[in-house]
Amino acid sequence: MKSKNKKKKKNEVFYKVFGVTFGAVVLGLSVFTLAYPDSDYSSAEKRYLAQIPELNVDTLADGSFMAGLEDYEADQFPFRAAVMQMRAGLDETMGKAISQGVTRLDGDHLAEVFEEPSEQAISAVVNAVNAFSARYPDIDMYMLLAPNAISVYSDKVAGHVLTDDQNTYIDGIYRGVSGAVTTIDIREAFAANRGAVELYYGTDHHWTTDGAYLAFTYAAKPLGISASRKYVSGVVNNTFSGTLTSSSGFSVGKLDDVKVYLPAQELSYTVEWGDGLRASCYLTEALTGDDPYEVFFGGNHASMVIKCGAKTGRSLLMFKDSYANCFIPFLIGEYDSITVIDPRYYYEDLDMLVASSDFTDVLFLYNANTLSTDNALATVLNNEQ
């Protein structure tokens, strides 16, 4: 009898202590989350955070205030960045291999998985490129479709991770456009140098400047330009944490270095995008910001024009995604002018542009992941006005 009473007492104490703890934690967290100041923007996630939703009859009646409040509380939770890291850690312990389309290659490197697009998507791009080339038979056209880390380092990907083969995709695209453009295949070069050169960032989906330079040296011959210019390379930022870490939440052992290659002999040129004319394609303010990769041309623009007095007689039109940003600097000096278009943001009349310029060359520079989900290039090339 005495032991039974003692047992109930033990449980009684246990429950009372638990009750007090639980109450304290819930109350404490409620007060803490209320008192914690709201932030505008998260540099870890690279997005604006939800603010208190508007409260009026309409938002109450359709429930958008309630949903907005829940978003607000999640976004403004104290130490959200740390909480996200804990979540990612828990997930990986439980065996999660892919988060937001990103998987792990090793302790320092992440990579985006590849999903093969539909036949329709492939032929849309191929047909648009072929038609564009047929419209301008006098302009030499080239395409460089770069593989991504998931393909070049496919052996590092865990066996069970679901990802498609980029090689069949790249082969398919190249086969389709081979009559209209000169294809530049850097895959062998990358495979040969995958150990010696850090070709891709570990935390970001872009190739490194080293990788871009390697691609350039192999592309120069087919493009008919010189690769003999001497460059001096240096690290301009060593705390780069890119899109792969911010979207997946996976952690890496070390942050990435961003390198810049400057010509040994100074080159004089002008770059124009958006609002103004600049003397350099490097935006040094970006190095201290959220995304150091934006040191290259300040990120993506609908169109840019680079002019230099090289008197080569050649003028280049480029269609690109953000991979090209650290590749373009190597082209400066090889062409009198380089016009760069990012089709995702381009709303102008392409044929009018071509008619009013005198392009001698066109280069399509994309990475396989981006091109496989892109529908802007075809739209811009087809130019239905």
Partner 1 sequence: MVFSGLTFLFLFLPVTLILYYIVPFRFKNAVLMVMSLIFYAWGEPIYVLLMIYSIVMNYAVGLMMDRESDHKKSILVFGIVLNLFILGFFKYFGFLVDNLNSLFGLNIHAKKLALPVGISFYTFQALSYIIDVYRGKVKSQKNIVNFATYITMFPQLIAGPIVRYGDICKEFDKRFITLYSFGRGALRFVFGLAKKVLLANLLGEMFEEIAAYGSGVSTVTAWLGAICYTLQIYFDFSGYSDMAIGLGRMMGFTICENFNYPYVSKTVTEFWRRWHMSLSGWFKEYVYIPLGGNRVSALKHVRNILIVWLLTGLWHGAAWNFVVWGLYYAALLLLEKYVTSKFKLPGWLTYIFTIVLVIIGWVIFSADSLGAAGVTVASMFGFAANGFVDKVGVYYLLTGGILIVIGVFFSMPVVGTIQKKLKKSMAGCTFLYIFAMALFVCCVIYLVTGNYNPFLYFRF
Partner 2 sequence: MKKIVAIEALLVALLVGVMFLLLSGANVRENVTAEEVEAASAQFVASETFSAKVGTELNAKRYMGLNVADYSAYVYYVATQGMDVHEFLWVDAGSEEGAEEVLAVMNERLTSQMEAFDEGYGPEQMALLEKACVFSMGRYAIYIVSEDSEAWKSAITDVLEE
Binding site for partner 1 (CB under 8 A): 7, 10-12, 14-23, 25-27, 29-30, 33, 60-63, 66, 69-70, 73-74, 77, 80, 83-84, 86-87, 90, 94-98, 160-162, 249
Q: Which residues contact 214 (CB under 8 A, 6 or more apart)?
A: 186, 189, 190, 193, 197, 199
By CB under 8 A, tell whether 59 contacts partner 2.
yes
74 binds, among partner 1, partner 2, none (CB under 5 to 8 A by kind): partner 1
By CB under 8 A, tell whether 22 contacts partner 2.
no
Count of CB atoms situated within 10 Å of the CB of 30: 10
* CB contact at 8 A, 344 and 366: no
Please name every residue paired with 269 in a beta bridge, in sequence order, or none if there are none: 308
Give the CA count within 13 Å in the CB-facing half-sphere of 149. 29
Query: How far, in Å, CA of 295 to CA of 380, rounded?
Result: 27
Both tokens assigned to 275: 């609002």
Nearest distance from C-beta of residue 222 to partner 2, angstroms = 30
By CB under 8 A, tell whether 241 contacts partner 2.
no
Q: Out of 229, 278, 301, 307, name the contact with partner 2 by CB under 8 A.
A: 301
* CB contact at 8 A, 89 and 251: yes
Please provide residue 182's backbone torsions phi and psi, each rounded to the nearest 5 degrees.
Answer: -90, 120
Nearest distance from C-beta of residue 112 to partner 1, angstroms = 17
Nearest distance from C-beta of residue 362 to partner 2, angstroms = 19
Nearest distance from C-beta of residue 376 to partner 1, angstroms = 26
By CB under 8 A, tell whether 351 contacts partner 2.
no
Both tokens assigned to 241: 């944490």
- Give the residue ranges of DSSP H helices in 55-111: 57-61, 64-75, 80-93
By CB under 8 A, tell whether 130 contacts partner 2.
no
379 binds, among partner 1, partner 2, none (CB under 5 to 8 A by kind): partner 2
Residue 183 or 243: the one with the smaller Cβ distance to partner 2 is 243
By CB under 8 A, tell whether 385 contacts partner 2.
yes
Burial 87-111 (b: 16+ CB within 10 A, else e): ebeeebeeeeebbebbbbbeeebbb
Query: How far, in Å, CA of 172 to CA of 195, rounded?
Result: 27
Nearest distance from C-beta of residue 300 to partner 2, angstroms = 6
Nearest distance from C-beta of residue 352 to partner 1, angstroms = 43
48 binds, among partner 2, partner 1, none (CB under 5 to 8 A by kind): partner 2
Which candidate, 135, 202, 145, places its Cα nearest to that of 359?
A: 135
Both tokens assigned to 244: 């792969």
Count of CB atoms situated within 10 Å of the CB of 276: 7
228 binds, among partner 2, partner 1, none (CB under 5 to 8 A by kind): none
385 binds, among partner 1, partner 2, none (CB under 5 to 8 A by kind): partner 2
By CB under 8 A, tell whether 384 contacts partner 2.
yes
Q: Out of 251, 344, 351, 360, name the contact with partner 2 by CB under 8 A.
A: 344
By CB under 8 A, tell whether 139 contacts partner 2.
no
By CB under 8 A, tell whether 373 contacts partner 2.
yes
By CB under 8 A, tell whether 88 contacts partner 2.
no
301 binds, among partner 2, partner 1, none (CB under 5 to 8 A by kind): partner 2
348: DSSP letter: S
373 binds, among partner 1, partner 2, none (CB under 5 to 8 A by kind): partner 2
Nearest distance from C-beta of residue 201 to partner 1, angstroms = 24
Both tokens assigned to 321: 């995604």
Query: How far, in Å, CA of 126 to CA of 142, rounded?
Result: 13
297: DSSP letter: T
346 binds, among partner 1, partner 2, none (CB under 5 to 8 A by kind): partner 2
Count of CB atoms situated within 10 Å of the CB of 212: 26
**SS3 state at 269:** strand
Residues that bind partner 2 (CB under 8 A): 41, 46-48, 50, 54, 58-59, 64, 243, 246-247, 274, 290-291, 299-302, 322, 342, 344-348, 373, 375-376, 379, 384-385
